[in-house]
Structure 1
Amino acid sequence: METLTLAAGPPSAPDTGDTAWLLAATALVLLMTPGLALFYGGMVRAKSVLNMLMMSFVAIALVTVVWLACGYSLAFGDDAFGGLIGSLGHAGMAGIGPDSTHGTVPTLLFATFQLTFAIITAALISGAVADRAKFSAWLVFVPLWALLVYVPVAHWVWGPGGWILDSLGALDFAGGLPVEITSGASGLALCLVLGPRLGFKKDAMRPHNLPMVVLGAGLLWFGWFGFNAGSALGANGLAAASFLNTLAAGCTGLLGWLFVEQRRDGHPTTLGAASGAVAGLVAITPACGTVSLLGALVVGLAAGVVCSYAVGWKFRFGYDDSLDVVGVHLVGGVVGTVLIGVFATAELTDGTDGLAHGGGFGQLGRQLVAVAAVGAYAFSVTYGVGKLIDRFLGFRAEEEHERTGLDLTVHAETAYDHGVLGHGAPVSASVASATSAPTDRKVKPQS
């Protein structure tokens, strides 16, 4: 993402074309969180679908309050401590009026655009602990996580004086490090804090509504154009290149995942198609403004193939990443961020070439250092925060609530008027058949 020093005054009038595009891009990125809610909601069992939707929707409100209070200032204010964090000079959006500009767009719009990134990043983590997290604990976790994990990493990567951008020189156009790797590493930490779902490796836990999953994936893909192309912060050629790269990588990610399913399982699945597209989009996020079209095609394909295998690691290693946040977002984010060091082209990066374009191993090394640092930081801080919340509030839902379903026990609602969530209603034959099917993603549990 293009990074410019925050301007407190009005040095120039905003460009109307750039402003119009960023307004649209901001709305597109905000739509991704409801899209994620549907994507996740369709993947869980019917008894907890509303809880899954709520975890995404409440993140919009919680992160917005934190961001406006101090998050934006700490992330994008002038550096205050050796490239690690910004200042509080703009806490409460102080000193930022309607005439203040950030480059060619209003600063208030830039801050709102960045807010939508923070929102969906927090919401992504919920997929790792689906079906078993206390909603009250989630309400505490989200604002703490946004301040302690997302905000510092956003400053490192995009903020004025951030150490990854200025000192290390690693590249990340639209969020492989602050969004994908932080959410994936944090999801892994949190699912270790909570432990596996009841019946993990034993009971069927297949998605209850695949059409909802595909609809959610479609909305995510639609919003991702704002996420990636909007990060050019202007209606220009860089935005166009990022837009096309995003489309291309989503397509090859989808095809790569289906290829693995066909070869491994004999059946290309709807869930695989949706997941493969998301994996390709995850991987191209950091690279969309740094690699050529051919590079984007390879990045998406690599993510689709690698992530389709990575989602099975939870059965081998025993961590219950319910909706594959680790397998898709952490692994896909690593793939895309590292491959910048291979496929970056000076035409888009203002002079930096990757290994494949004769740039040597230097940029690849910088990308690897950034991935390791951000992943380790996000995992360790999230694990600590999760443990503290678990100790003082309890993070895991009560066993009875988990067995009954969090929709009814926490929210006093059900998503459907019939079937397993009815108030004393018998389980229908179709629902019983669906919930007794083999485990998710056609990956056999391993003892």
Structure 2
Amino acid sequence: MAPAITLAAEAPKLSAANTGFMLICSALVMLMTPGLAFFYGGMVRVKSTLNMLMMSFISLGIVTILWVLYGFSMAFGTDSGSLIGWNSDWVGLGNIGLTELWPGYTIPVFVFLVFQLMFAIITPALISGALADRVKFSAWALFITLWATIVYFPVAHWVWGAGGWAFELGVIDFAGGTAVHINAGAAALGVILVIGKRVGFKKDPMRPHSLPLVMLGAGLLWFGWFGFNAGSWLGNDDGVGALMFVNTQVATAAAMLAWLIYEKIRHGAFTTLGAASGAVAGLVAITPAGGAVTPMGAIAVGAIAGVLCAMAVGLKYKFGYDDSLDVVGVHLVGGVVGSLLIGFFASGKGQSEVEGLFYGGGLTQFWKQCAGVFAVLAYSLIVSAILAFILDKTMGMRVPEDDEVAGIDQAEHAETAYDFSGAGGGAAKTAATAPVAAAASKKVDA
């Protein structure tokens, strides 16, 4: 019998279906940044609404340009020392062919790079929620520029770039538990430890001014997150992306319910803010884990994250750090929880054959997850604090106290979110009718 002839595997060919799918996913991830702006914008007081929106929107501009100039090359170029990438042909994106495929996949390089760009945009925007009410807009813009260059681009290479140390170690991060959420949450903690608390922290009421806006933002985030998560498999050929899509919905639902139950037991009410925050906590936690766990595992990941994040948001009052909109409590804690739980709930039937402790795989993967989690956390926290310290000592990070009290929107943007002067009511109407009311009062007295 003649020996069998072994044929070389066919080279991947451009898939119009996967390309279209990934372009849609990229658009969904882009929508998450405006959604985040609404989510954060509704959570602050009226006088800070526009500043909060702008702190997210400016990332769309700055990070996009950095990504074209050198960011994509740093994150996904040829590895150097397992710490950083570089490819001079990608600088300015002028030497990439229209149909040149991302290695090993059926989508063009341009599609991969624009999908990853949207991740790079939203990550520094996440940090802004911790700094509400008190940061100069110019200082924030410069911080984004430096932070993306020194922190995000290298960390993205560690986690997702070929040759990156976490990638080679086998740390599982399907869509950004370490590179996005722990990275942003740790950065937020580092910055607020440097710049300090808002005026009136723990004394003045700092309630959300528009819970409908918060819910709108949370809804947009939930919607966009399907692109964020399912798209991270870079195709739709083997069902893993579909599993991630299902797990995204399941974990988010579980986390929202768990947060509300905890809130009812602890504080006596089911709040809309709790529902929105719980949903985001679930989205964060399933981001690294969703390709490795079953839907039942996703319920467990979401429920655990919902309770632990709800507990964590109160730590700022206990320890005295002013995390304005709970970036540390939701994104840092949620990212850590979701990443570490892979070591327990990985089923071996999703993105890889890796099994966690509950599926007979022991603690091997858990220790790998710990390495990735705590390395990113420490690097981002320390470097972010150093950047904030340098900026604070040179140009100043905070607005003057009088501007903070009066309202950062007017001081930094010369605008206000709401103009009631033409509404025919409120102060304007009262002022206009005051003389008439006074005359009528005199006539009655007479």
Would the TM-score normalized by the shorter structure come out above 0.5?
A: yes
Q: Which residue of 2 aligns with 1:6?
A: none
Task: Letter of the 1:310 partner, please give it.
Answer: A
- Describe the superposition over 1:353-382 as per-residue Cα deviations: whole angstroms up to 9, x where unpaired: 011100001101111111110000000110
Q: Which residue of 2 aligns with 1:91?
A: 91
Inter-CA distance 426–190: structure 2 relative to 1 (3 Å threshold): farther
Unmatched tracts of structure 1, length 5 or more: 1-10, 429-447
Q: Which residue of 2 aligns with 1:59?
A: 59
- Aligned with residue 390 of structure 2, among 360, 373, 388: 388
Task: Letter of the 1:405 partner, please give it.
Answer: G
Per-residue deviation, 1:425:
5.8
Q: Which moved more, 1:91-100 or 1:135-144?
A: 91-100
Q: Which residue of 1 aligns with 2:350?
A: 348
Q: Which residue of 1 aligns with 2:6?
A: none
Distance in 2 (alpha carbons) for counterparts of 1:140 and 1:426: 40
Q: Which residue of 2 aligns with 1:228?
A: 229
Q: Which residue of 1 aligns with 2:210?
A: 209
Normalised TM-score (structure 2):
0.91
Distance in 2 (alpha carbons) for counterparts of 1:300 and 1:111: 30
Q: Is the 8 A contact 2:292 2:352 kept in 1?
A: no
Structure 1 residues 359-378: aligned runs within 5 Å: 359-378=361-380
Structure 1 residues 44-193: aligned runs within 5 Å: 44-80=44-80, 82-89=81-88, 90-102=90-102, 103-166=105-168, 168-193=169-194
- Describe the superposition over 1:139-172 as per-residue Cα deviations: whole angstroms up to 9, x where unpaired: 1000110011111110000001010010x21111
Task: Letter of the 2:175 partner, please give it.
Answer: A
Task: Letter of the 1:75 partner, please give it.
Answer: A
Task: Letter of the 2:240 partner, please give it.
Answer: L
Unmatched tracts of structure 2, length 5 or more: 1-10, 431-446
Normalised TM-score (structure 1):
0.90
Q: Which residue of 2 aligns with 1:310?
A: 312
> What SS does structure 1 have at the residue aligned with 2:419?
coil
> What SS does structure 1 have at the residue aligned with 2:84?
coil
- Describe the superposition over 1:236-281 as per-residue Cα deviations: whole angstroms up to 9, x where unpaired: 3111000000000100010010011100011010000000000000
Q: Which residue of 2 aligns with 1:439?
A: none
RMSD: 1.5
| Percent of matched pairs sharing the same residue | 57
Per-residue deviation, 1:221:
0.1
Structure 1 residues 285-300: aligned runs within 5 Å: 285-300=287-302
Q: Is the 8 A contact 1:128 1:320 kept in 2?
A: yes
Distance in 2 (alpha carbons) for counterparts of 1:50 and 1:203: 21
Spell out structure 1 runs of 4+ moving beyond 2 A.
424-428
Q: Is the 8 A contact 1:125 1:187 kept in 2?
A: yes
Distance in 2 (alpha carbons) for counterparts of 1:181 and 1:322: 17
Q: Is the 8 A contact 1:73 1:93 kept in 2?
A: no
Distance in 2 (alpha carbons) for counterparts of 1:194 and 1:391: 10
Distance in 1 (alpha carbons) for counterparts of 2:399 and 2:236: 47
Task: Letter of the 2:362 partner, please give it.
Answer: G
- Describe the superposition over 1:210-252 as per-residue Cα deviations: whole angstroms up to 9, x where unpaired: 0000000000000000000000111231110000000001000
Distance in 1 (alpha carbons) for counterparts of 2:170 and 2:165: 8
- Aligned with residue 241 of structure 1, among 230, 243, 253: 243
Q: Which has the larger radius of gyration?
A: 2
Per-residue deviation, 1:349:
3.3
Distance in 1 (alpha carbons) for counterparts of 2:266 and 2:337: 22
Task: Letter of the 1:191 partner, please give it.
Answer: I
Per-residue deviation, 1:427:
13
Distance in 1 (alpha carbons) for counterparts of 2:403 and 2:429: 18
Task: Letter of the 2:255 partner, please give it.
Answer: G
